Amino acid sequence: MLVETSDHLTRVADRLRAARAVTAITGAGVSAASGVPTFRGDGGLWRSFRAADLATPEAFARDPALVWEWYDWRRQTIARCEPNAAHLVLSRWTERPGFTLITQNVDGLHERAGARDVLRFHGSIWNVRCRDACHGSPPSWRDDTVPYPVLPPPCPYCGGIIRPDVVWFGEVIDPRLFARCAAATACDVFLAVGTSAVVFPAAGLVHEAKRRGAFTLEINLERTPASDLLDLSLLGPVEEVLVELDRLVRLPSTACP
């Protein structure tokens, strides 16, 4: 249930309608309604491990089969999920000139909803690459195999091991991708949707947008540590908030001339 007033929603819709450039960054809260586990908070366990125990180069070097067991389970789980209303709204918005969609999610649901030119900050769970970057393999390739018959999966080019093409804890974001994301902070409205906006470097984008003069908005189920730093928080299930905003954006403007 939405807890913000209609005045707040109308105010945001007017800003979105008038904006020449809008950027949104999404997090796990966008995919929650699709049934994708978040792996954060008290329930963020798989067997006896937390994500931070497994999503590291050190964990993969130590026990690639264990890490792949987790990723293979995640891939199977995500394969059964469908895009929800939040994904569909954001997909429509990517058709608008000047709209940039950045996601911290690796589940690929934005793309399955039809979103265009998604900037995947942490990569995709559906892309893999050779652990040893063998000469015969491309830098990265799509692999929809679910489940893998052998763990860890072998590289089809050299017989070694492949790894998920995601950004693990301690790894660096691709500089070219980061530059595109940073450039998108030069916008009129910046939305942080379903993300706590506290995990850097992704969290720095909304704060950089605010520094550059953008109207900054958080859409989340509950307040986050970033709430007091942004211009406005819309609280409620993100799929409901986005559907209502999308409806209001399509209405004639109520903004004063």
Question: Peptide bond preceding 97: is omega within 30 degrees of 0, i.e. cis?
Answer: no
Query: Nearest to residue 30, comparing CAs of 225, 244, 223, 196?
Result: 196
Residue 257 has pLDDT above 80, yes or no: no
From 110, 145, 166, give the residue that closes a domain: 166
The enclosing H or E element of 76 equals helix 64-79
Answer yes or no: do 183 and 215 share one domain: yes
pLDDT tens by residue, 211-225? 999 999 999 988 888
Give the dihedral of Cα atoms 128, 170, 208, 30; nearest 10 deg. 50
In a domain, residue 87? The reply is yes
| CATH number (domain holding residue 137) | 3.30.1600.10
19-28, 194-203, 225-234, 247-256: range with lowest mean pLDDT: 247-256
In a domain, residue 20? The reply is yes
In a domain, residue 89? The reply is yes
Which H, E and C letters describe 79-122, residue by residue?
Answer: HCCCCCHHHHHHHHHCCCCCEEEEECCCCCHHHHCCCCCCEECC
Answer yes or no: do 178 and 236 share one domain: yes
Cα gap 36→56, rounded to integer Å: 21
| pLDDT classification of 50: cutoffs 50, 70, 90 | confident
Question: Peptide bond preceding 152: is omega within 30 degrees of 0, i.e. cis?
Answer: yes
**Distance (Å) of CA 24 to CA 88, 99, 168, 205, 254:** 14, 8, 22, 10, 23
In a domain, residue 231? The reply is yes
Amino acid at 189: V
Answer yes or no: do 99 and 129 share one domain: no
Q: Return the pLDDT at 256.
A: 38
Catalytic pick among 110, 122, 135, 207 = 122
In a domain, residue 257? The reply is no
Q: Return the pLDDT at 223.
A: 87
| pLDDT classification of 42: cutoffs 50, 70, 90 | very low
| pLDDT classification of 44: cutoffs 50, 70, 90 | low
Beta bridge partners of residue 103, listed in sequence order: 26, 120
pTM of the entire structure? 0.92
Residue 72 has pLDDT above 90, yes or no: yes
pLDDT tens by residue, 87-101? 999 999 999 999 999
Answer yes or no: do 182 and 232 share one domain: yes
Answer yes or no: do 190 and 242 share one domain: yes
Answer yes or no: do 20 and 140 share one domain: no
Respond yes or no: is residue 122 known to be catalytic: yes
Answer yes or no: do 143 and 70 share one domain: yes
In a domain, residue 189? The reply is yes
| CATH number (domain holding residue 237) | 3.40.50.1220
Rounded to 5 degrees, φ, ψ at 195 are: -135, 145
Q: Which domain holds residue 65?
A: 37-80+125-166
| pLDDT classification of 3: cutoffs 50, 70, 90 | very low
From 106, 133, 166, give the residue that closes a domain: 166
Answer yes or no: do 152 and 236 share one domain: no
Q: Return the pLDDT at 202.
A: 78
Answer yes or no: do 142 and 161 share one domain: yes
Answer yes or no: do 94 and 207 share one domain: yes
pLDDT tens by residue, 133-154? 999 999 999 999 999 999 999 9
The total domain count for the chain is 2
